[in-house]
Structure 1
Amino acid sequence: MHIHKGSLYWPSTLQLPNRQTPIERKDTYDVVIVGGGMSGALTAFELIRQGLDVAVFDKRQVATGSTSANTGLLQYSNDIMLHELIEQIGEKNAVAFYRLCLEAMTDLHEVANQLPIDPEFIGRDSIYYASDEKDEARMLEEFKALKKHGFPCDYWDKETLMNKTGIDKPCAIITHGDAEVNPYRFVNGIFQDFENKGGHIFEYTEVQDVKEENGLLRLKTSSGDLHAKDVIFTTGYETLPVGERIGADINRSYVIVTEPLEMPPWYESAMIWESKRPYLYMRTTVDQRIVIGGLDESEGEMPLSESRIEERGEELKKQVQQLFPDLDIKIAFSYCATFGESLDNIPFIGEHPQKKHHYYLLGYGGNGTVYSMMGAKILADLLTGKHNPSAYIVQLNRTLESESDGQTVVQ
């Protein structure tokens, strides 16, 4: 499956040495992680700190799948608003989930501070504006829900938003404690740290099957078999090597990255997104570029022609210039990328309900990196026998308040 197409910006920001020194693969590991992207990296980071013997397998080079196309906006808010999630799964569960996202933001910052490669992690506010007047009431209701439960945010009316940012929209919620990151440098920095601590990475090696054998799991790979006590699938939007994915939709989105600007383009280089769906979103980079995404389409396959990517890129540019009429931008990179969304707007994290020692971290949704950090913490607890009080919210086979049926992501 091709998960992105076009010209990618992030890989141009880091020159990597090839892993040419062969690693002597062990016959047995405590944990094998299948997938070397954001979820696999953060899970490996957490598990090796718990003293576990961990190996990561990827059928490509690590960080070259969805990580290379990740736009690197890190926010505790989700594609589904808190007050809407409360209606869906109940106040207790919805607030607990949002708090997990806020805690993950702190955890991501702590990870970034420990890496041998600068991940360009910068704390930012987010401007979440109402796309039109009909969303104004929803935005105010969301602000009240966030404030009621102690989430850091402010509300700007039309006049305040215009005076501070030049954005001519009805209102906005300003969330604090968010951040931007270079996802490619972040994941490669994590894996360098992981290897420095004795972890093993096997690139260009596909895990093809997993079977139980004498109390262990036997993993069949494209370069031979090995064993593990536990296996974790962090395969993102790829087809799972074992089992069938249900409860999620795979779609595609478009992104452009501009040429560098001479100065920050807007108020405090905040991250910006909007209330309509699909939504326009944007952020800046350390070299004063703008990363702009949106125009989601309900197809997972990449467009056949480069011209489609170029056309959608021009549409994104036009939308940004409508928001900021004085902004003169030129497109330097443009691409299309696959993304996944769960049907209930919550990621899938935990042990398979029928297959012991098979774990999953599938961070479907617009908040994928935050979900990856959340999942890494939860899985580290589960695999080391610690109780995690929030794991039930994201487990694969879940039934929460206000839901009539549970759902399972794989079978």
Structure 2
Amino acid sequence: MELYQGNLYWPSTVEETPSFPALTSSIHCDVLIIGGGMSGTIMARVLADYDIKTVLIEKNQIGTGSTSVNTGLLQFSNDAMLIDLIDRFGKEKAVYFYKLCLKAIDELDKYSTYLSEPTDFRRADSLYYASNEHDLKKLKNEYDALIQHGFHADYLDKHAISNLYSFEAPGGIYTKAEAEVNPYKFSLQLAKDSNQLGVDIYENTEILSHRFSKDELCFETEKGDIQAKKVIYATGYATQEFAKTKGALLERTYTIATKPIDQFIGWHNRSLIWETARPYHYLRTTSDNRIIIGGLDEKLTNDDDLMCKGEQLLSKLNTLFPHISPSIEFEWSAVFGSTKDGLPFIGEHPKYENVYFMLGYGGNGTVYSMLGAEMLKDLILYGFHPAMDITRLGR
């Protein structure tokens, strides 16, 4: 599956990438992580702090899959509103899951301070606005639920939004617990530091076949076998069928990054911005003063008119911020995974013991990956995590 097309922004921000060898002989390990993107490298860094012999393999190079097209918005609110999760799971589980997302951002912040080189991690405010009057009632209900359950948020009416931003909206929820990051830099540095802490990493190493038994898992590569006690698949959308993720949907999303901007007129605190419409637009700024805007999600087809989609995104940007007048420098499309209930798939395979998956589907994939790494660490070490029923495969 071709994961993306176009001219990518994040790889242009890194002059020299770390490299890792290919596997050339057979090895043993306690935990094998398959996939060297954001999910796999976060998982590797979490396990690096424990006495677990861990190996990570990537069939291409670290961070060159979906991570290189990730827009790097880190939010505790996600595609599934808290009120929707309460309807589905009840208050206790829904609020707990949202608290886990909030904690995951703090964990990402913590790991960013450990890394040997900066990754443009920045704490950021976030505006979630009603795209139309019809959505306003539900947005207000969401705000009430957040406040009731201890989340810090402010409600902005249409006058407050127009005073803070150069666009109008019926209302919005403003939060201050989010963040943004350069996902490509972050994943590369996680891999580099994990390797220095004892995780063996192999690039250009593809799994050709596997054999599962009760006591051991065996994986064949071109130049050697890997025998592991446990395996974590962090390969994103490529594992959808094997993982039995019946509620997963694959779509295509489009993104542009502008040339650097002198002033962000009408953009309060350079906050993250997204909306209630589905599909929705999402916006952020970068450390080198660009604007990233994405959206226009649609079904996967062979008709991928990047130039047309890029101009549509630029038009939306001009509508929101008419005093900025940006121009496009990078534009790309990418396969985007979502789920019917807005939640990730994290947990053990329903059929195969010791086979785990960390699939951070949705617009909150990086936060889900951090959450998932903590969950799988607990499942591996202790056999239990309180959220395992919420994110289980086959649900």
Provide closer, same or farther for how the CA distance between residues 101 and 129 of structure 1 changes in structure 2, counting only shifts above 3 A.
Answer: same
What residue number does 1:402 align with?
A: none
What residue number does 2:354 align with?
A: 357
Superposed, 1:25-174 pairs within 5 Å as: 27-174=27-174
Provide closer, same or farther for how the CA distance between residues 280 and 349 of structure 1 changes in structure 2, counting only shifts above 3 A.
Answer: same
Q: Which moved more, 1:180-189 or 1:239-248?
A: 239-248
Provide closer, same or farther for how the CA distance between residues 284 and 208 of structure 1 changes in structure 2, counting only shifts above 3 A.
Answer: same
Letter in 1 for 2:201: I
Give the Cα–Cα distance (whole angstroms) in 1 for the partners of residues 298 and 143 of structure 2: 29
Superposed, 1:231-380 pairs within 5 Å as: 231-239=231-239, 242=242, 245-265=245-265, 266-299=267-300, 303-304=302-303, 308-380=305-377
- TM-score (normalizing by structure 2): 0.96
Give the Cα–Cα distance (whole angstroms) in 1 for the partners of residues 25 and 110 of structure 2: 31
Q: How far off its partner does 1:240 sit?
A: 5.4
Give the Cα–Cα distance (whole angstroms) in 2 for the partners of residues 393 and 364 of structure 1: 14
Determine if contact 1:210/1:242 at 8 Å carries over to the other structure: no
Q: How far off its partner does 1:366 sit?
A: 0.8
Determine if contact 1:117/1:186 at 8 Å carries over to the other structure: no
Q: How far off its partner does 1:77 sit?
A: 0.3
Determine if contact 2:39/2:369 at 8 Å carries over to the other structure: yes
Provide closer, same or farther for how the CA distance between residues 173 and 56 of structure 1 changes in structure 2, counting only shifts above 3 A.
Answer: same
Give the Cα–Cα distance (whole angstroms) in 2 for the partners of residues 60 and 141 of structure 1: 45
Secondary structure of residue in 2 paired with 1:101: helix
Q: Which moved more, 1:353-362 or 1:245-254?
A: 245-254
Q: How far off its partner does 1:387 sit?
A: 3.7
Provide closer, same or farther for how the CA distance between residues 16 and 389 of structure 1 changes in structure 2, counting only shifts above 3 A.
Answer: same
Give the Cα–Cα distance (whole angstroms) in 2 for the partners of residues 208 and 99 of structure 1: 39
Listed as ranges, the gaps of 5+ residues in structure 2 are: none
Provide closer, same or farther for how the CA distance between residues 130 and 57 of structure 1 changes in structure 2, counting only shifts above 3 A.
Answer: same
Determine if contact 1:206/1:221 at 8 Å carries over to the other structure: yes
Secondary structure of residue in 2 paired with 1:272: strand
The runs of at least 4 consecutive aligned structure 1 residues that moved more than 6 Å come to none
Secondary structure of residue in 2 paired with 1:254: strand
Provide closer, same or farther for how the CA distance between residues 17 and 167 of structure 1 changes in structure 2, counting only shifts above 3 A.
Answer: closer
1:373-405: CA deviations, max 9, x gaps?
A: 0000001111112642222211224xxxxxxxx
- TM-score (normalizing by structure 1): 0.92
Number of residue pairs matched by the alignment: 394
* Identity percentage of aligned residues: 42
RMSD: 1.7
Give the Cα–Cα distance (whole angstroms) in 2 for the partners of residues 48 and 138 of structure 1: 42
Determine if contact 1:157/1:170 at 8 Å carries over to the other structure: yes
Secondary structure of residue in 2 paired with 1:155: strand
Determine if contact 1:71/1:291 at 8 Å carries over to the other structure: yes
Q: How far off its partner does 1:21 sit?
A: 5.5
Give the Cα–Cα distance (whole angstroms) in 2 for the partners of residues 39 and 25 of structure 1: 25
1:213-261: CA deviations, max 9, x gaps?
A: 5821111123321200101000111245955543211111000000001
Q: How far off its partner does 1:364 sit?
A: 0.8
Q: Which moved more, 1:67-76 or 1:128-137?
A: 128-137
Determine if contact 2:244/2:393 at 8 Å carries over to the other structure: no
